[in-house]
Every structure is written in structure tokens, then in C-alpha cells.
């Protein structure tokens, strides 16, 4: 990667060149800056912030105002990386709302937006792209639909689901999406999708054959010890290290002798 600004076209061209895409999430200035300094080409201000920052039980409670707040914070890092933001739950139910809310996130500093769904939102995708805002898709397990589906589960295990995923992916590519997140999709289906469509696939729990991989950064760093995810093996035990540092500092404070009067 060069030091030039990463754009949606840059990400799309990485597939053509056979370069793997490493993407991570950031919700504030310091994390966005650290990830950018580490050379991550795509940073997502994901609505996962609802759970990992705001303490919500799922992403469905995240508001557009909260997304704008965190996008502004991450954008202040002025990353070389492409900064993508999630359109939150029910913020893109119509073409008009999708474009208006994508513009709000762009005004906050997002350089592209992401939304969940395939053929059902192809009109919204096309309108967002035509308005000048790059769009990234999201198929497979859709966190914003977790309440409707009764939990998180792997997609693509049966033939109807496989056909639906392929049709949705092709629809998103035709509507102008520059890339596509595949979450908890069976590896064989993720591989077929990756080979069939012209835009990059970025997997999370979808096997090794996608064009790239994305993770929620606190999961990667081991900052959320209260949760265990099958598709993530933390590379750091940050939570335990943070506890140890805080306890050591606290012990030092408590051991200081008071000033004598």
C-alpha cells in the first residue's frame, strides 16, 4: 500500500490485483488514528458500537445521532484509510431516507456507508451511489435483524439460502456497491460468492477465501472478556492487562503517605 488516500476505488482494485483487504472497526479518534498508523486500509465505524461502546444488548437500539457522533470522532483522525459508516437500524427503509441519512453520515465525515440486505434494498443502494456516496453491502447474518430471526446463526447451510445469498450479492454489485461484507456465511458459499462477483468480499466468520477479513477491534484485542465468539481468537488480552495496570496504580496511590500538618 502507498501513502496515498484510500478510496472505494482503491478497495475495489485490490481484488483485481489479488491483494487481501484487512479491515477493522473504530469508534473514536485514538483508535482510528492507531489503526491508520498500523496501515489498515478500511476502517468501519460500525453500529457494533451499540454493544461494545454503549452497552446496548444488540445493534437495533443505535440511533443515527449516535452514529454521527462517533463518525465525527473517528474522522478527526483524518485517516489515510477509507472511513466507512454503518447506516443504523431502520434508517434506510425508503430510498428517500436512505439517501438523506447517508448524506448525514457523509457530512459527519464518512467517506462511504454500509447497510444490511440485498435485493430488498437495491433501490436504496443505487440511489445512494448516484448521490455520490460509495456504498458497501452486508450479507449473511444481519445483526440488525437479530430480533426478527431469534438470534445469530450461520447462513448458507441449505440450498434456498445459498441461492438467495448469490442473488443478493449480484444485485448489490449491479446496484453499484464497491465491496461486500459476508458475516457468518458458510465457507463454501463465501468462496463461491467471492469467485462469482466482481467486487471484493470481506468476511467475518465466513472462512479464509474471501477477498479480505474484518473484525470488531475490541474483539481482536481481547477488550471484552465478558463475551466469547467462535469466529474470533483474540490476539491480545488487553482487558487483563488494563486491570493489572489500574490495580498497580491504585495500590501506589493508596500506599502514599499523607502529608503531615
Residue ranges per domain, the chain?
8-220
Q: One of 183, 192, 240, 254 is an active-site residue; which one? A: 183
What is residue 2's predicted lDDT score, i.e. its pLDDT?
45
Q: What is the pLDDT at residue 233? A: 83
User: Average pLDDT by consecutive 10-residue portion of the chain (261 residues)?
Assistant: 84 98 98 98 97 95 98 98 98 98 98 98 98 98 82 86 96 98 96 97 96 96 83 86 96 87 62
Cell numbers 430471526: residue: 149
Is position 183 annotated as part of the catalytic site?
A: yes
In the prediction, which pLDDT does 1 show? 41
- pLDDT value at position 195? 97
Residue 203 to residues 75, 181, 189, 231, 253: CA-CA distances in angstroms? 24, 6, 11, 11, 46
CATH class of 8-220: alpha beta
**How many helices and strands (H and E) does the chain possess?**
11, 8
> What pLDDT score was predicted for residue 261?
62
The dihedral of CA 124, 41, 196, 163: what is its sign? Answer: negative
Instruction: Write down the pTM of the prediction.
Output: 0.93
Q: Give me the pLDDT at residue 149, please.
A: 73
Chain centroid to Cα 73, Å, comes to 16
Q: How many CB atoms lie within 10 A of CB 218?
A: 23
Name every residue whose Cβ is closer than 8 Å to that of residue 110 and which is 6 or more positions away in sequence: 45, 71, 75, 83, 84, 85
Cβ 168 vs Cβ 211: under 8 Å: no
Say what the pLDDT of residue 82 is. 98
Amino acid at each position: 500500500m502507498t501513502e496515498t488516500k484510500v478510496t472505494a476505488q482503491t478497495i475495489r482494485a485490490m481484488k483485481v490485483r489479488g491483494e487481501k483487504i484487512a479491515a477493522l472497526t473504530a469508534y473514536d479518534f485514538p483508535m482510528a488514528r492507531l489503526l491508520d498508523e498500523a496501515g489498515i486500509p478500511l476502517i468501519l465505524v460500525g453500529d457494533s458500537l451499540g454493544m461494545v461502546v454503549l452497552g446496548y444488548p444488540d445493534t437495533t437500539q443505535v440511533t443515527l445521532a449516535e452514529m454521527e457522533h462517533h463518525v465525527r470522532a473517528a474522522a478527526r483522525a483524518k485517516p489515510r484509510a477509507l472511513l466507512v459508516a454503518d447506516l443504523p437500524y431502520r434508517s434506510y427503509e425508503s430510498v428517500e431516507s436512505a439517501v438523506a441519512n447517508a448524506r448525514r453520515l457523509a457530512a459527519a465525515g464518512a467517506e462511504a456507508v454500509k447497510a444490511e440486505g440485498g435485493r430488498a434494498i437495491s433501490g436504496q443502494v443505487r440511489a445512494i451511489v448516484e448521490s455520490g456516496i460509495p456504498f458497501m453491502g452486508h450479507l449473511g447474518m444481519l445483526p440488525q435483524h437479530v430480533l426478527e430471526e431469534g438470534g445469530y446463526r450461520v447462513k448458507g447451510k441449505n440450498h434456498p439460502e445459498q441461492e438467495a445469498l448469490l442473488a443478493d450479492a449480484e444485485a448489490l454489485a449491479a446496484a453499484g456497491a464497491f465491496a461486500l461484507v459476508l458475516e457468518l456465511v458458510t465457507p463454501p458459499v463465501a468462496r463461491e460468492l467471492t469467485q462469482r462477483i466482481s467486487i471484493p468480499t470481506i468476511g467475518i466468520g465466513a472462512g479464509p477465501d474471501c477477498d479480505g477479513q474484518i473484525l470488531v477491534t475490541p474483539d481482536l484485542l481481547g477488550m471484552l472478556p465478558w463475551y466469547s465468539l467462535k469466529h474470533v481468537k483474540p490476539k491480545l488480552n488487553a482487558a487483563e492487562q488494563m486491570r493489572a495496570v489500574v490495580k498497580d496504580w491504585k495500590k501506589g496511590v493508596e500506599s502514599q503517605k499523607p502529608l503531615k500538618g
